[in-house]
Structure 1
Amino acid sequence: MHIGCHLSIAKGFESAVKEAISIGANTFQFFTRNPRGGSAKAIDLQDYERAAALMRDNNFGPLLAHAPYTMNLAAADPKVFDFAKRSFKEDLERMEAFPATLYNFHPGSHVKQGVEKGIELISGVINETLTGNESTTLLLETMSGKGSEVGFTFEQLREIIDNVTHSEKMGVCLDTCHIFSAGYDYINHLDQVLEEFDKIVGLDRLKAIHFNDSMTPFAAKKDRHEKLGEGLIGLEPLMAFIGHPAIRSLPILLETPNELEGYAKEIALIKDRMGV
């Protein structure tokens, strides 16, 4: 089982890998640039090679790169949309320096344009950018449904994927807080929710898990993460989720409101409960 959390690469990948190892992690997530936008830092390939050697020696799973939150591929504002397209293209080009890494992004918010228009814009940008020759797998993140978010139902994710020419490069990152808030009752119906995902999207496209409890109740359409066992999902349903045979082999990335010490405790808890 590969378990990690969000770590900064401001001091380089080697430093982030060492930090991950220090808290018992064997994968991690990182932002491709400032999460609120801005330019991306130049890649130090020698630093990454050192990091890659450390990851091989410590049985790391694939890393998960996360696009900035301000990258809205369905934006109505031309300036915001232009930034999103440029960031998306730059990120995919940069990702080729990190073979077999996963690239996760929030599909976008349609901002009163309607879900169908949002899906059209999102898939359009992907088609303009994706060549099919990339080593990276693109992951649509399951969303909570707040505001005008696109991607809070399995059907919406499927429609985006179906509209992408090189759909073989597309996958999904499932967020446990988000789908709970979107109205998928895996607390009481775990098998049924995963069967529904498989029928609509396909479990073969599920590549990573964002692992979080929720501050807000079921179907609240809110995005408020909580520490494991301290929210309204609860520890037992969360552990049952990642212990499911369809999920257990996937990278598990914590996005709980923690510092390193808190992440270390949660990683130890998961390992103990999962027997790894």
Structure 2
Amino acid sequence: MLHIGCHLSVSQGFRHMGEEALTIGADTFQFFTRNPRGGSVRKLDIDDMKQLNELMAAHDFAPILAHAPYTLNGCSKTERTRQFAVEAMSEDLQRLEYLDNCRYNFHPGSHVGQGADEGIRLIASMMNQCMFSGQRTTVLLETMAGKGTEVGRSFEELAAIIDKVQFSDKVGVCLDTCHVFDGGYDITERLDEVLEQFDRLIGLERLKAVHINDSKNPLGSRKDRHEKIGEGHIGLEAFRKIINHPALRTLPFYLETPNELDGYAREIAMLRDLYCE
């Protein structure tokens, strides 16, 4: 079965997101833990979270994905920005303990001229300050396109971060198809080779989620501009191979394409038609 969903707004509550996902044929979804361009967080509603847990169990949901805000940059050269990242991630992980079968995804950050090695050290340090013994939520590093001074533009950089994290058994990776394509990994013509490289450097057992997005830009552009499925440079045939690949087909897929809810419903239906049961 293809496990697929899209990004939904948490503004109306957790159970509402689960109900909304069902209306568009999804069996999972992604949401921001807090204001994606700021840092404010909605009031904790444990009862609402429990209601979502019950709905997900009743409808056999795949793991849902909590996405950290874009403002979270644990490798900034500004101490206050780094401190905000620690505070936000720590609070997010504590709050997510009330949700069943949830993973936490974040953009590793931008080193802003400090160099990738220092960025890697600072990101791992942030994670070590925030993660805790016995936590249920797996933390996912997202693959990045490599624009500017982004860290996580290569599998090597992600592996280097993971190697420095204390609770590495609770660390995984979210592969973003637009990002890796823009970053120079040819998932259209050399998908097997890309996944073999991932396995060699990181380990496929750490691949826990896929952001499934087409790209407005060609291979290696380092631009990070998402496109609707089949309307960009990756193309529909590549997505048929991606969702059916033995190493990927059982993972949860999350759409982040430029769509409203009806557009997501069409893409979910289209991808389900391409999936080989």
Q: What TM bracket, shorter-length normalisation?
A: over 0.9
Aligned to 2:181: 180
Deviation of residue 132 (structure 1)?
2.8
Q: Which residue of 1 aligns with 2:31?
A: 30
**1:46 Cα offset (Å):** 1.5
> Which structure 1 residue ranges, 5 or more long, are not aligned?
none
Q: Which residue of 1 aligns with 2:51?
A: 50
* Residue 53 of structure 1, CA deviation: 1.6
Aligned residues: 276
Q: Identity rate of aligned residues, in percent?
A: 54
Aligned pairs for 1:74-85 (under 5 A) are 74-85=75-86
- Name the aligned partner's letter for residue 94 of structure 1: R
156-165 vs 72-81, greater mean Cα deviation: 72-81
Shift of 1:246: 0.4
Q: Distance in 2 between matches of 1:270 and 1:27?
A: 14
Mapping of residues 142-157 of structure 1, within 5 Å: 142-157=143-158
CA contact (8 A) 1:100 1:137 kept: no
Inter-partner Cα distance in structure 2 for 1:63 and 1:155:
27
Q: TM-score normalised to the size of structure 1?
A: 0.98
Q: Distance in 2 between matches of 1:138 and 1:167?
A: 9
The farther-off stretch of 145-154 and 73-82 is 73-82
* Range moving further from structure 2, 247-256 or 98-107: 98-107
Cα deviation for residue 226 of structure 1 reads 0.1
Moved over 6 A (4+): none
2:94 maps to 93
Cα distance in 2 between the residues matched to 1:170 and 1:78: 25
Amino acid at match of 1:127: N
SS at match of 1:174: strand
Supply the distance in 1 between the matched residues of 2:174 and 2:27 (Cα, whole angstroms): 18
Deviations 1:22-71 (A, max 9, x none): 00000000000010122211221221222222212212111100000000
Amino acid at match of 1:187: T
CA drift of 1:275 comes to 4.1
Alignment partner of 2:209: what SS? strand
2:267 maps to 1:266? yes
Structure 2 contact 142–176 (Cα < 8 Å) conserved: yes
1:250 counterpart = 2:251: yes
Q: In 2, Cα distance between the equivalents of 1:89 and 1:37?
A: 16
Matched, 1:207 2:236: no
Q: Deviations over 1:140-184 (max 9, x none)?
A: 000000000000100000000001111111000000000000111
Root mean square deviation of aligned Cα: 1.0
Deviates more, 1:203-212 or 1:85-94: 85-94
